[in-house]
Amino acid sequence: MSLLYENHYEEVMTPLPPVDSDVLAEMNVIIYDSVRKDFAIAVSWLDECIRREWGVVKDIDKIKLVRIDGVWWVPLEKMLQVERV
């Protein structure tokens, strides 16, 4: 009988395809509009899993999503999707 800690498991995760440049440009427009016009957006990004949160963007270097119940920092290079709410 082998114990679980004796086995070495590697998390298998397929790499995501790069975001198309047209899609990236559209996401940037939505992000800048959220900063200037103060409206909420939904952002999906890759963390340990794919996360999705919504809020108003307050910082652009690393997207700072702000909502009454929380704040999320989203790295630009890990963004997958941005939508207006």
Mean pLDDT, rounded, for 7-36: 77
What is the band of 13 on the pLDDT scale with cuts at 50, 70, 90?
low
The length of the chain in residues reads 85
Does the structure show a pLDDT above 50 at 27? yes
Please answer whether residues 79 and 34 qualify as being in contact, where contact means their C-beta atoms are separated by less than 8 angstroms: no
Q: Give 33-85 pLDDT, tens digit per residue.
A: 999 998 999 998 888 788 899 999 988 878 899 998 889 998 888 888 899 98
Task: Please report, for residues 6, 8, 16, 29, 46, the alpha-carbon distance to residue 50 in angstroms, rounded to integers and kept in the order given.
Answer: 29, 24, 11, 22, 5
Q: Which two tokens stand for residue 51?
A: 């996360």
Does the structure show a pLDDT above 80 at 17? no
Sequence-ordered list of residues with C-beta below 8 angstroms from that of 44, at least 6 positions apart, any chain: 50, 51, 52, 79, 80, 81, 82
